[in-house]
Chain A
Amino acid sequence: MTLFRGRRILAGAMTLVAAAALAACGSKTTDANTSAGVTADVSGDTVKVGLLNSLSGTMAISEVTVRDSIMLAIEEINAAGGVLGKKVQPVGEDGASDWPTFAEKAEKLIREDRVAAVFGCWTSASRKAVKPVFEKNKALLFYPVQYEGLEQSPYIFYTGATTNQQIVPGLDYLKAQGAKSLYLVGSDYVFPRTANKIIKAYAEANGMTVLGEDYAPLGSTEFGTITNKVKSAGADAVFNTLNGDSNVAFFKEYKSAGLTATSMPVVSVSIAEEEVKSIGTQYLEGQLTAWNYYQTTPGAANEKFVAAYKAKYGADKPTSDPMEAAYVSVYLWKAMVEKAGAFDVEKVREASDGITFEAPEGLVTVDGATQHIAKTARVGKVGADGLITEVWNSGDPITPDPYLKSYPWAGGLS
């Protein structure tokens, strides 16, 4: 009977798919040489750097723009004479929104291309995947995206915000606005789960209630139930840590359910100008975001950055916080190398403390102890034109505190 034949074949298909998935997971990176680091190849008149971003898959919506701004910084630096007299030569790899692939490509950049530093990664899952690779090989990663904190690798420089420079100020803002209850929605991986742990600790210490907490797998596009739960809980605000284009589905559903920025505002920490554009302004107008930089941030350094970016990639391309942090990371690396007078990783790390840069977001300072940078927190509102306008900022740059040691309520977290 066709029926039974069909079933056996279907079982065969499932086995095949499962085998393929297993094979993909099982491809471990080689670790032939675990103790000694690999020295970068700086013998010629160029120095190679690695760019590691997802150019395909669910994270590409965000990571492609980071790649573009890193390329812009490298071009500008080369036009101005390079680093220590050497031209910077970028070697690009696609992490494909897949964490084992990130680890594999990192290994390749360090060992085969012998790059002096790698710029990239977006999701914390990808950073956690490559962290042991960089530590084992004693190589440098510049990570340009806000993240959940509670981490400090000697071989990673974190140029995006840690929690006390983004999420905590975002919560302070909500508290000042009178929000008493929150609903937490996030993607199901390390950043949203850790971020929500911190948010819950903050809420408890500050008299706010968390009415619910829901997670969707990365890439998930079915938000009917979550939206229903959010709506019936009736919180004062929603704290959104969804990543990638799940946000598209979530905000479409949110609007369909009749929820708006005035009835129940959403504060997002992973939606910047580029995402606003692709999600659609019609769904996001009036919603809040917490970042350190917006395209509209005033200042000469930003005007120059925005103009250069638009000249290279098109007038309709917005600039965003992670792009700015990635752009800044290349300049910070340059400054560290020049201060150290060498590309050697340990010397660069030693030279890092106190390095400042007049960034588009304002003055940033590298904190050598934590390898994070001091930056100003900003809360913004999405406008009808798709740009985000600042509604609040912290005034001065906030000193990075990845383990939230200076916050008594965060005692039990790390």
Chain B
Amino acid sequence: MTVLIGQLFTGVSIGAVLLLIALGLALTFGQMGVINMAHGEFIMAGAYTTYVLQQVVTVAGWSLLVALPVAFLVAGTMGVLLEILLIRRLYARPLDTLLVTWGVSLILQQLARDVFGSPNVQTRAPELLTGNIALPGGITVANNRLFILALAGGAVVALTVALRVTPLGRRIRAVVQNRDLAAVSGIATARVDRMTFFIGSGLAGIAGVALTLLGPIGPTMGTNLIIDAFLVVVVGGIGQLKGTVIVAFGLGVLQATGEYLTTLSVAKVMVFVAIVAFLQWRPQGMFTLRTRSLA
């Protein structure tokens, strides 16, 4: 029983990581339809931001807290630059966007290698986050996992509120549902796109901060994550946050259960098979957004 609960928690925390890395993509890919292969490198940028801040602010707890908004700004700014310089010119040519952003991703990786060196680096976690909370029955809940779970939860809530309540959120939804109609209603769609991209990329930066608590930071960390992030968004259904959230946790628990019963490699295969089967059954993903646009 203890093991079961422990595994459930592991699954949920894998899900929280998946959710964090996919959330930004749910905005840029899910809502805007831009395939940004450099999304993983924005996560990397967030992770390296944490690393750099730790050299400046040497108290690990503070540097982590400072890193959250700074990483959001750094990754968000990179996203906006990418949008202004390249993606904006390619909105009607998705395949070109894919190739261009892939190129950007390679450039950013090499840049990280040149600036920070090829070997992976580590950050020191604050002492508070290296411990755990012991629950009755021998169950332990790792603090860093709880932190990531809270962070993912917070990001989802903030994003949902922002999309539902704020004027910007209303505009984003309007543009997603029908770009032309939104434009003729007086919404500056180009500016909305830029803001959406800023938020989506910024969320990648936050994910990067969270990942420093779990493993090393390296130039290629983004490539390992981007496929998982796309999978979560595609399976969840494009244009919906709800789907992304459910699928992230679903896949996390599936992965953890599979790994417990078999081995890590077999579990990965199981997850992929499950995804393929699911997409055969529901090619549109778990949830679909009905829109009136003709695009």
Contacts and interface: CB of A to CB of B under 8 A. Distances in A.
Interface of A: 1-3, 5-7, 9-10, 12-13, 16-17, 55-58, 60-61, 64, 188, 214-217, 219-222, 224-226, 228-229, 231-232, 245, 248-249, 252-253, 255-258, 278-280, 282-283
A221 B216 contact: yes
26 contacts: A1-B293, A2-B238, A3-B238, A3-B284, A3-B288, A6-B33, A6-B35, A9-B35, A9-B94, A57-B118, A58-B218, A216-B264, A222-B214, A226-B259, A226-B264, A245-B122, A245-B216, A245-B218, A248-B122, A252-B144, A253-B214, A255-B131, A257-B132, A258-B131, A279-B122, A280-B122
Interface size of B as a range? 35 or more
Nearest to B2: A232
A112 to B, nearest CB: 23
B37 A56 contact: no
Interface stretch (B7-15, B155-163, B186-194, B242-250): B7-15
B102 to A, nearest CB: 8
Contacts of B144: 252, 256
Q: When A and B form their complex, which 8 residue pairs have the shortest distance between CB atoms, in order from nearest?
A: A221-B215, A256-B142, A56-B118, A224-B10, A60-B119, A249-B215, A2-B33, A225-B259
A64 B265 CA distance: 29
A225 B264 contact: yes
Nearest to A216: B264
B3 A253 contact: no
B111 to A, nearest CB: 14
B50 interface: no
A63 to B, nearest CB: 9
B264 A232 contact: no
B264 A13 contact: no
A93 to B, nearest CB: 14
B124 interface: yes
A214 B142 contact: no
B224 interface: yes
Contacts of B259: 225-226
A256 B35 contact: no
A229 to B, nearest CB: 7
Given A9-B94, A256-B132, A278-B122, A214 B2 contact: no
Give the residue among A6, A7, A215, A219 with the most B Cβ atoms within 10 A. Answer: A6
Contacts of B263: 214-215
A228 B119 contact: no
Give the residue among B3, B132, B134, B264 with the most A Cβ atoms within 10 A. Answer: B264
B14 A224 contact: yes
A216 B219 CA distance: 21
Contact of A232 (B3, B118, B131): B3
Contacts of A229: 260
Contact of A12 (B14, B95, B124): B95
Nearest to A224: B10
Interface of B: 2-3, 6-7, 10, 13-14, 17, 29, 33, 35, 37, 94-95, 98, 102, 113, 118-122, 124-125, 127, 130-132, 134, 140, 142-145, 213-216, 218-220, 224, 227, 230, 234, 238-239, 256, 259-260, 263-265, 283-284, 288, 291, 293, 295
Contacts of B214: 221-222, 249, 252-253
A252 B218 CA distance: 17
Contacts of A5: 33, 94
Nearest to B99: A16
Contacts of A248: 120, 122, 215-216
A228 B77 CA distance: 39
Contacts of B122: 245, 248, 278-280
Contacts of B37: 13
Give the residue among B124, B132, B142 with the most A Cβ atoms within 10 A. Answer: B142
A1 B259 CA distance: 37
Contacts of A232: 2-3, 6
Given A2-B239, A2-B295, A256-B130, 10 more contacts: A1-B295, A3-B239, A3-B288, A7-B283, A10-B234, A61-B119, A226-B259, A252-B215, A257-B132, A258-B132
B265 A58 contact: no
Contacts of B239: 2-3
Contact of A228 (B7, B113, B215): B7
Given A2-B238, A252-B215, A258 B265 contact: no
Contacts of A282: 124, 127, 130
A278 B284 CA distance: 45
B104 to A, nearest CB: 14
A256 B145 contact: yes
Contacts of B145: 224, 256
A12 B239 CA distance: 20
A190 B265 CA distance: 15
B215 A188 contact: no
Contact of B264 (A60, A220, A278, A280): A220
A151 B107 CA distance: 41
A374 B180 CA distance: 78
A57 B3 contact: no
Contacts of B35: 6, 9-10, 13
B95 A9 contact: yes
Nearest to B9: A224
A13 B295 CA distance: 21
B124 A64 contact: no
